[in-house]
Structure 1
Amino acid sequence: MYNLILNIHIWTSLLFVVISIVLTFRVTKGYFQKKEHYGKTCIYLENSFIILLYLGLILGFLLYFFMEPTNKYVVKSVADVNRILSLRFWSVEHFSVMLFALILAQIGKIFTSKSINHLLKFKYAMIYYGSATLATLISLGFYLAYR
């Protein structure tokens, strides 16, 4: 069961990265070209963006708190956690960065939903979704470095 949830989490994360890059490029292009219509495609992409972030959070919680193999790490104190880089990455850095990305995305969704001006929608989406995408890509870079 652990491997199944882990694979779903990985595929969800990969799909999120693709959608986040497409969304970020689309809203950045819309902002700089001063488009006058924030279309249904952008709304669909931003909803998918946030849903995949929440799904990743739920799957990550399941993996970390309920399904992690108990004998994988022997941790007796907080100092032991800091010595094991991989465990520190998953328990502190990855969780913090992904939660930060989720908060940025949710704030961006609120601003884009409440804004009447389409240029402002593109601006808010570019800032918040772009920042969340950047945070996610930085976290992915750390994962590849710790691996």
Structure 2
Amino acid sequence: MYNGLIHLHNVMRWIIIVLLLLNIIKMFSGNKNIVWSKWLLISSHIMLIIGLYQYFFGNWGFKLFKAYGAEVMKTASLRFWAVEHITGMVLAIALITIGHISFKKTGNTKKTAILYTIALIVILAVVPWPFRAGIGRQWFPGIH
């Protein structure tokens, strides 16, 4: 089950990046259709649930603190998985949520586009891309 969730988590990454790009373009162009923003919100919250499950019950999250203690903060690759990845992703999903709620209440597409752009930058910064030394993962895990 855990491997299946890892693969789903990876597929959801691409869905969220595409939805963010689509929403940013739509918002900056002044399109007030909320449907795509709602899909982004739903997808990001599903990703959050999957990610939190992996963090608390998988091998690359909370268990690192139990196994290594304070050493986690001294080792870049362990710190990435135990602290940086989850913090960045929760922040990005909070920005997506705030952007969606703001758009729903005020219809302000520019503010929403800015919040979504910041969320995209945060996500791109904390994804374990294959070229990142020590933490890199495959573009599409499970597909060889």
What is the CA RMSD across the aligned residues, in angstroms? 2.5
1:20-99 aligned at under 5 Å gives the runs 20-30=20-30, 38-39=32-33, 43-68=34-59, 75-78=67-70, 80-99=71-90
Superposed CA deviations along residues 39-81 of structure 1, whole A, max 9, x for unmatched, are 2xxx121111111211111111111212338xx9683321x21
- Go from structure 1 to structure 2 and tell me whether the alpha carbon gap of 1:65 and 1:89 turns closer, same or farther (over 3 Å shift): same
Taking only the aligned residue pairs, the percentage that are identical comes to: 27
Q: Which structure 1 segments of 5+ residues have no match? A: 31-36
Q: Match for 1:7: what amino acid?
A: H
CA contact (8 A) 1:97 1:139 kept: yes
Q: Which has the higher contact order (CA 8 A, sep 6+)?
A: 1
Query: What secondary structure, in the 3-state scheme, does the structure 2 residue paired with 1:68 have?
Result: coil
Query: What secondary structure, in the 3-state scheme, does the structure 1 residue paired with 2:68 have?
Result: coil
TM-score by length of 2: 0.78
1:103 counterpart residue number: 94
1:5 counterpart residue number: 5
Distance 2:68 2:78 in 1: 13
Q: Which structure 2 segments of 5+ residues have no match? A: 137-144
Question: Given the alignment, which residue of 111, 125, 131 partners 2:112?
Answer: 125
Runs of 4+ deviating beyond 4 Å: 141-144
TM-score by length of 1: 0.77
> Size of the alignment, in residue pairs?
132
The CA deviation at 1:140 is 2.5
Query: Which structure shows the higher helix fraction?
Result: 1
CA contact (8 A) 1:16 1:49 kept: yes
Of structures 1 and 2, the larger Rg is shown by 1
The CA deviation at 1:96 is 0.8
